[in-house]
Amino acid sequence: MSETILCGLIGTGIGASLTPIMHEEEGRAQSLPYVYRILDLDVMGLAPSDIGELLTYAKRFGFRGLNITHPCKQLVIEHLDELSPDAAKLGAVNTVLFDGGKAIGHNTDWSGFGRNFDTGLPGAKLDRVVQLGAGGAGAAVAYAALTRGARVLTLVDSSLARAQELARTLAVQFPTQSVVAKHTDDLADALAGADGLIHATPMGMAAHPGMAFSPDLLRPDLWVAEIVYRPLETELLRQARLIGAPTLSGGGMTVFQAVDAFRIFTGIEPDSDRMLAHMTALVQGEQAAVAR
């Protein structure tokens, strides 16, 4: 393959994203002429509503594909020609492929979390699962949990209306499973009988240190899955590990969604173990630099 594969990431405040580095490093390992660029709306002085214009220019300039992040995952949909079945169900797109003159939307957030869960928490009990956070990546993560067989999924959010809206949408798609919405005030009651917790809020990120709730609510028999990956060990995961609870970091979700996007863009299967090792080294390097 001699023609350059040009891809990119659209969003706001994405200058520090590790996605370009992960994609280009795997491209080099595959001996591909692979170039991945950041298209930060803030830097370009564009508004999220300009996403359609950006897609048009990307298509004209020969981009093979784009990853889409906050705040454009829903806004981009009206500018696409086709949606994959999962993207249509989720109402969110994080990957766009330009192929045959068409812009085709995919969602690899849900598959990224699902594969990370399968790999990192094999055999985890899924009778009763609580997800804290129903916004942002919440829909994709909840969708993944239900596809994995969560019998009762309780969505807990500081906005009860937001949790209820997502619960209604998912209940239609998974009629044989139960999706319940609760306010964060009811988190303790929800966790009391749960098998596992999925954390899908920004708490724990470098810019939002700490935990979203008291560690007293954790139990050794309650598995904990995180979507935050910078740092790889959030305060939530640290507290869960201290009491011996099974844990899953958000690093795998980030890598596996990139794995799926790379495959969509190139038609080539990437080495997920290599990409995971590379991402882990990058994040650990950042943490070491901060510690110094």
Could you tell me whether strands 95-99 and 5-11 are parallel, antiparallel, or unpaired per DSSP bridges? unpaired
Long-range contacts, stretch 52-55, CB < 8 angstroms, 24+ apart: 52/76, 52/78, 52/79, 54/10, 55/79, 55/80, 55/96, 55/103
β partners of residue 6: 35
Work out the number of other CB atoms within 10 angstroms of the CB of residue 165.
16
Catalytic residue check, 182: no
Q: In the structure, how many helices (H) and strands (E) does the chain have?
A: 11, 12
Residues 6+ apart with CB under 8 A from 87: 77, 93, 105, 106, 107
Which residue from 70, 53, 114, 127 is spatially nearest to 252, judged by alpha carbons? 114
Q: 3-class DSSP state for residue 88?
A: helix
Inter-residue contact 236 to 224 (CB < 8 Å) = yes
Inter-residue contact 253 to 116 (CB < 8 Å) = yes
Residue type, 143: Y
Structure tokens at 148: 């994995």
Of residues 73, 102, 125, 182, which has the active-site annotation? 73
Inter-residue contact 174 to 111 (CB < 8 Å) = no
Inter-residue contact 250 to 109 (CB < 8 Å) = no
Residues taking part in catalysis: 73
